Amino acid sequence: MSELDDVLRCAGVRRTFGALRAVDGVDLAVAPGARHALIGPNGAGKSTLLRLIAGGQRVTSGRIWFDGREVTSDPEVSRARQGIGQTFQRSSLFRTLSVAENVALAVQRTRGRPWLPFPRRPGWAARVDEMLRLVGVEDRAHHRVDTLSYAECRQVEVAVALAAEPRILLLDEPAAGMSAAGTARLLELLRGLSAEITLLFVEHDLDMVFELATEVTVLHLGRVLMSGAPTEVQASEEVQRAYLGTGRRGELFTTVRSMGGDHVTPGT
């Protein structure tokens, strides 16, 4: 596959905050339809890189292309309209509105006037219903967001992001704070998404990463340590050292879940 075929490409992307190099010359290529994971220790620059791609922060240097077009200088709203969708570490839902109203606002931003309180066209209402069924919360359509469980809120956030019809969906720690059951439901949801939607996701739950990802990029101190197939990353002694500071490969992918708990121990 050539560079022109990548749905997303970063070249030499850097973001500094004073003397701190949060993202330090990252090169990244994401193929259409990929389920591409970004992993690494805390402070590696993963969430910052997602914000740079989405346009929530500006790069200090480097270039970003989306769907063959350079978007380095485009504002966040323009990138969203072009097809870069995102969810956040912290909820961005309107908690006093219903589930359906939250999704309706996203539909309206894409298809019509943004400030109507609910869709006035049958096509918009059908789109809302479709998104709620897709993420499995159709029975919560008229419930206020502040009455939902944490896992249900994460499902609604995915529905809101998908309502904007993205070509690529950026997910920042989608399973954070979830129980094992909630993570399993989320994994099932993401696996069921159309291959027309590319995923680029940051996640500390390594069980989820290696069950979902088709490609994994490891960041360390703002730089790409390696990119490759999940099996290649799992076998890498360099990745092992980045997480644990040792070469004890057998410990990196040992999880609390496998011992009866919910979350991975390294990288949290």
pLDDT mean across residues, the chain: 84
What pLDDT is attached to residue 263?
36
Average pLDDT on 241-254 reads 58
Residue-wise DSSP of 49-78: HHHHHHTSS--SEEEEEETTEE-TT--HHH
What domains can you pick out in the chain, each with its CATH number?
A: 1-83+167-184+202-268 (3.40.50.300), 91-165 (no CATH)
What pLDDT is attached to residue 4?
58
Going by the DSSP 8-state scheme, the letter that residue 142 receives in this structure is: T
Could you give the C-alpha distances from 130 to 3, 57, 74, 135, in angstroms and in order? 34, 32, 30, 9
Least confident among 35-44, 50-59, 81-90: 81-90
Average pLDDT on 12-26 reads 96
pLDDT in tens, 162-192: 888 899 999 998 888 888 888 888 898 899 8
What pLDDT is attached to residue 245?
62
The interaxial angle of helices 150-163 and 122-135, nearest 10 deg, is 140
What pLDDT is attached to residue 225?
94
On whether the CB atoms of residues 174 and 203 are closer than 8 A, the answer is yes
pLDDT in tens, 112-154: 554 455 545 556 788 898 889 888 889 999 999 999 988 888 8
pTM score: 0.83
